[in-house]
Structure 1
Amino acid sequence: MPKNTLKSITPSPERMQSIKSLRLLGDWIYATNLWHINRYSSSMAFFVGLFVAFMPIPGQMVLAAFLAVLLRCNLPLSVGLVWITNPVTMPAIFYLAYRVGAMIVDVPMQPMEFELSFHWLIHSAEAIWQPFLTGCFICGLFFGSVGYFVISILWRMRVARMWRERKKRRKKALSSGPGSTPQQAQASPPESPDK
């Protein structure tokens, strides 16, 4: 995964430090290692962000920031990925988690009619809390692990491709003749097909 792409989608340190709820972490969020982008910090940040995104709790950003500090991974990526669960995606994500949890706990799915009220939340949570929380935990672990391995593999593939390209450039520079530098080999025009 290109560093520049990750840098472009992550919030700046100034933006992250201006979030009031993250001030609970004090000076810990100012550690420079939490802002670097490398294979470990990016992969682990995807795990943390996706895992916490499936947790049905308020303060997901604070939990993601705390785990990023604890695991020494990229703080902005961890906190930014939590926003996968937003008011638009939350019903589908939590319904998926409930279905997975009901299948694992081996309980029949309860028919529900959704209402946006505290009364509905209390009464339906009483019936579905165990499969719902189990599903959230399992889905968080699964999607977090998938994110970790996908980013790690993409990162390794990019590094391997860059090394191959570098090797080709060096080989081409060496084959262009003694005394020529790699910069001269790249600047020289290609030979015409007539020769």
Structure 2
Amino acid sequence: MRRTRFYKHMPTSQSFHDNRYLRPLARYLHHHYLWQFNRRTVAGGLAVGLFAGILSPIAQILFASILAMIARVNLPVAAFATLVTNPFTVPPIYYAAYRVGKSLIGSDPGAAEDLDPETMEKIVGAGSLEGGIGNWFANMIDWLQAAGPQLMLGLAIFSVVSAVLGYVLVHVIWQLNSRLRWKRRVRRIQQQMDDCSIKGD
């Protein structure tokens, strides 16, 4: 994928300044390291975005932006990566996180699994938005309150693991891409030398 296509889908400096939740941070958004696209900043931005997107149930972009400023990583990538959680992915991610947390610390009376089965189906099932976003949100809040520490532990594990994997993945892809470009350059130079050699003969 060409970089221009990648950049086209990234949030811009203006979009951050226009975001009402980020306006208090506007004076910090001009720092050049927040907008650099290199291996370290992109990998760090992805890690920060995945961490904030999974761990924080609300204000993920604000949380990711603050972490990006502290870590001095790419802000657009961090904001874009928070989209890993959305109304379609939150139910399975949160339910899986709850199951992981429950397997580690057990469950309490009145835990999420004791909720009405129909409510659980609406939350976790593929049709989780059926009945309107308001009903889905109310059901999710009820489930989150019942899930308690099991869910938070699972989300903490998921956020850390996903951040580490995202960071490593960017470095691996970046390295492979660099090697590929280097090989292409070597082949191009070799071809030019062969062409010159043929012309010289």
What is the TM-score normalised by the length of structure 1? 0.80
Of 126, 132, 143, which aligns to 2:162? 143
Q: Which residue is 2:91 aligned to?
A: 91
Is 2:199 aligned against 1:169? no
Distance in structure 1 (CA, Å) of the matches to 2:83 and 2:140: 25
In structure 2, relative to structure 1, the CA distance for the partners of 1:121 and 1:156 (3 Å cut) is same
Residue 64 of structure 1 corresponds to 64
When residues 117 and 78 of structure 1 are mapped into structure 2, their CA distance, relative to the original with a 3 A threshold, is closer
Report which of the two structures shows the higher radius of gyration computed on alpha carbons.
1
Residues in 1 aligned to 2:174 and 2:88: alpha-carbon distance in whole angstroms: 30
Aligned-partner residue type, residue 130 of structure 1:
P
Structure 1 residue matching 2:29: 3-state secondary structure: helix
Q: CA deviation at 1:174?
A: 1.6
Matches within 5 A, 1:71-86: 71-86=71-86
Contact map agreement 1:68 1:75 (CA 8 A) in 2:
yes
Distance 1:66 1:120, change over 3 A: closer
| 2:7 corresponds to | 7
Identical residues among aligned pairs (%): 24
Q: Which residue of 2 aligns with 1:110?
A: 113
- Kindly tell me: are residues 92 and 125 of structure 1, through their superposed partners in 2, closer, same or farther at Cα, counting changes over 3 Å? closer
Structure 2 regions of 5+ residues with no counterpart? 120-134
Contact 2:13 2:29 in 1 (8 A): no
**Partners of 1:100 and 1:49 in 2: how far apart?**
22
What is the SS of the residue equivalent to 1:177?
Answer: helix
TM-score (norm. length: structure 2): 0.78
- 1:118, CA displacement in angstroms? 6.2
Contact 1:43 1:152 in 2 (8 A): yes
Cα distance in 2 for residues equivalent to 1:95 and 1:118: 16
Amino acid at match of 1:159: S
Q: How does 1:32-51 map to 2 (within 5 A)?
A: 32-51=32-51
CA distance in 2, matches of 1:9, 1:120: 30
The alpha-carbon deviation at position 129 of structure 1 amounts to: 1.0
Cα contact 1:48–1:67 (8 A) shared by 2: yes
Aligned residues: 179
| 1:190 corresponding residue in structure 2 | none
One-letter code aligned to 1:168: R
**Alignment correspondent of 1:183:** none
Task: Quote the Cα distance in structure 2 between the aligned partners of 1:145 and 1:10.
Answer: 22
Q: Deviations over 1:118-138 (max 9, x none)?
A: 69846x555421110000000
